[in-house]
Chain A
Amino acid sequence: MTEMPARPILELDGVGRIFARKPDIAARIAHRLVGSPLPARVRAVDDVSFTVQPGEVLGLVGESGCGKSTLARMISGILTPTSGRIRFEGGDMADMSAGDRRRAGLAVQMVFQDPMSSLNPRLRVVDIIGEAPVAHGLVRPADQDGYVCDMMERVGLDPTRRYLYAHQFSGGQRARIGIARALAVQPRVLICDESTAALDVSIQSQILNLFMDLRAQMGLTYIFVSHDLGVVQHISDRIAVMYLGRVVELAGAEDLFAAPQHPYTRALLAEVPRLEPKKRQFTGIKGEMPSPLNPPSGCHFHPRCAVAVPACATRRPALRALGAGRMAACDLIGEEVAD
């Protein structure tokens, strides 16, 4: 289902984001005069390209600091890319008129990890969910109450509780409020950034089921960001694996878990705790994730890679197609097969 002829709903083309502190005047003068270094720059996301088809669920996985949340925030329009383009239904957000950009922005909504810090504690739920659609003219002010009730029912909340505050709900119900708020502006794409990470297992499964029901009912497209590979495996059609700002592998969920190609993906999948009642020897990938301030040269993964060759330290492997809709950024994959 990855080879759909339909026009992609999202296209990312060489998207990158650099975070840098603006050097103050003293640092700039020192740099001019004696060549002292400018403040460090972090390349949080580095040249990421992929497309998402309408109705697809794309999982974005990686360890902390790999840039998955930064990428999600750029797609949702909260952050702007420092390089590359993000096109929504063919149109580049950066080239749009203000009105078009607002409409495109509404079509991509985000569901955050921690509902407590993303829901206004001083607003009643009826306003948390109903404010945006009224402000954007999707719903007349007189219809707000009924619209909110409808949204609450859709996500499995009791509409009679709409005049309560967010803190009066349980964790799972708060997650539902966050989802209802995102849905209220009638988005086409929902970006879920660790949306179930703070929930207990029994509640997490309720919310994952809700996401899948909503997809079936409303034809939503999802970008599902998570560090929990079990969750991503369950819900995604395709999965992109990130390491230090780059996508290292992109494949259909079943293919990826059945036969991971990139050495990092292989190591990562081997570490996932499984629900098998068997004592196992935990080993772990050697070493730790290097600092994004000073990433290794060439392939970012080479210092920890079990199969690295000297060339990996100098040459950056491109993300190349391996057939059947799969892509991986490792120059050794073809050679291994040839051996």
Chain B
Amino acid sequence: MRQPALEVTNLAVSFATRRGDLAAVRGIGFHVLPGEVLGLVGESGSGKSITGLATMGLIDPPGRIVSGSVKVNGHEEIGRSEAELRKLRGRQISMIFQDPSTTLNPVLRVDTQMIEAVQAHEKGVSHSAARDRCIAALTAVGIPSPEERLLAYPHQFSGGMRQRLAIAIALLNRPAVLIADEPTTALDVTIQSQVLGEVQQLAAETGTALVWITHDLSVVAGLADRIAVMYAGRIVETGTVAEILADPRHPYTAGLIASVPSRNRRGTRLAQIPGSAPSLVAMPTGCPFHPRCSSADAICRAEVPPPRPVAGRTAACHHPLSAAAEVQG
């Protein structure tokens, strides 16, 4: 097997509060190969964004990484100094966020921000050479007349264009890994598919490993190679897109897929998962999904199910569904 571009093992992140430590991410592991797209799917509060931030080394107090390892191209990231991490970020591993207007500096022109990003990581690149690279990057993400747009400020771009700008900056130094945290959630469907198309093409061309964090299963269905489903700080199921979507084995994954409206016949009642996701302060014992699960029994209430291989993929469930099992609504 090739060396993964990103390898995360047993990562745990918790936040110190007055009510004690809250574990937001509870020991998760995954890997992404160069050129591969991993969809990290979960609902609000599942820990998917914290996982993204932790792999970038961006967890600030009161949060801290309790344990685990994050390797980019085989090099351990956890435990490095802030100065070393700064060198890695943007060059080895980049991130794009949901709202580009908060990640771009509103008082700097686009060319200032982009040229700075090039020169920060490569000493000795001339201003004009860096500028040429910026123009190429803007062209690659589909921004028309890039020479003129370089002289504009971020607020002069539309939402979709601003997100493209953020993607262009993230890919300037051809990082090995790109973490995308819900970058198309705020965009309209037509703009979303333009942006998805460009990211898809760029990741394939540059061999960048892509982690696409989202709550929307249908976005990763068309984009990702593999999917990891998160629930309450743990990965409950990992597998290829086809395996997960066509034949989910964890009851939560199955419930999530069944509740997507387009999966249901028009006008019928939607399949629904009863209850809501547990709060970090009141995590149930055993399997965190058991209060909402129809097949839960005594062992589910007592023991946390470890990730186990099931039919070619991994699922963390004491009673994984059998093939083509019907989900109860």
Contacts and interface: CB of A to CB of B under 8 A. Distances in A.
A12 interface: no
A268 interface: yes
B276 A172 contact: yes
A172 B43 CA distance: 13
Contacts of B257: 275
Interface string A262-304: 0000011001111111111111110011000000000000000
Contact of B262 (A209, A230, A284): A230
A94 to B, nearest CB: 33
Interface residues of A, number: 45
Given A201-B217, A230-B218, A282-B197, A275 B266 contact: no
B196 interface: yes
B262 A274 contact: yes
B194 interface: yes
Given A205-B259, A273-B221, A234 B270 contact: yes
A275 B269 contact: no
A204 B194 CA distance: 26
Contacts of A209: 269-270, 272
A170 B276 contact: yes
B276 A208 contact: no
B218 A277 contact: no
Contacts of A202: 43, 255-256, 259, 272-273, 276-277
B189 interface: yes
A277 B242 CA distance: 5
Contacts of B21: none
Contacts of A336: none
A5 B262 CA distance: 31
B102 interface: no
Interface string B196-239: 11001000000000000001111101110100000000000000
Contacts of B244: 277
B223 to A, nearest CB: 8
Contacts of A284: 190-195, 197
A229 interface: yes
Contacts of B294: none
B9 interface: no
A31 B266 CA distance: 55
A275 B266 CA distance: 15
A231 interface: yes
A165 B193 CA distance: 40
Given A170-B276, A201-B256, A281-B197, A233 B266 contact: yes
B269 A212 contact: yes
A118 interface: no
Interface residues of B, number: 49
A201 to B, nearest CB: 5
Contacts, number: 141
Given A208-B270, A273-B189, A279 B222 contact: yes
Given A273-B221, A273-B222, A285 B262 contact: no
A332 interface: no
Contacts of B161: 288
A191 to B, nearest CB: 19
Given A170-B276, A275-B217, A283 B193 contact: yes
Contact of A282 (B188, B194, B241, B264): B194
B189 A230 contact: no
Nearest to A274: B218
Given A272-B189, A273-B189, A288-B158, A205 B270 contact: yes
B190 A277 contact: no
A227 interface: yes
Contacts of B241: 277
A275 B221 contact: yes
B19 interface: no
B263 interface: yes
Given A277-B245, A282-B196, A283-B197, A271 B262 contact: no
A192 to B, nearest CB: 14
B262 A234 contact: yes
A203 interface: yes
A64 B272 contact: no
A268 B190 CA distance: 6
A138 B221 CA distance: 49
A254 interface: yes
A253 interface: yes
A173 B222 CA distance: 32
The interface centre, meaning the residue of B158, B218, B255, B257 with most chain A CB atoms within 10 A of its CB, is B218
B189 A268 contact: yes
B125 interface: no
Contact of B193 (A200, A231, A282): A282
Nearest to A65: B188
Interface in B59-89: none
Q: List the 4 closest pairs (A to B, CB-CB), nearest first.
A: A284-B194, A282-B197, A205-B259, A234-B261
Interface of A: 63-64, 170-173, 200-206, 208-209, 212, 227-231, 233-235, 253-254, 267-268, 271-285, 288-289
9 contacts: A63-B188, A208-B270, A212-B269, A227-B188, A274-B262, A275-B245, A277-B241, A279-B222, A285-B190
Given A64-B188, A282-B200, 6 more contacts: A172-B276, A201-B260, A234-B262, A273-B189, A273-B218, A275-B262
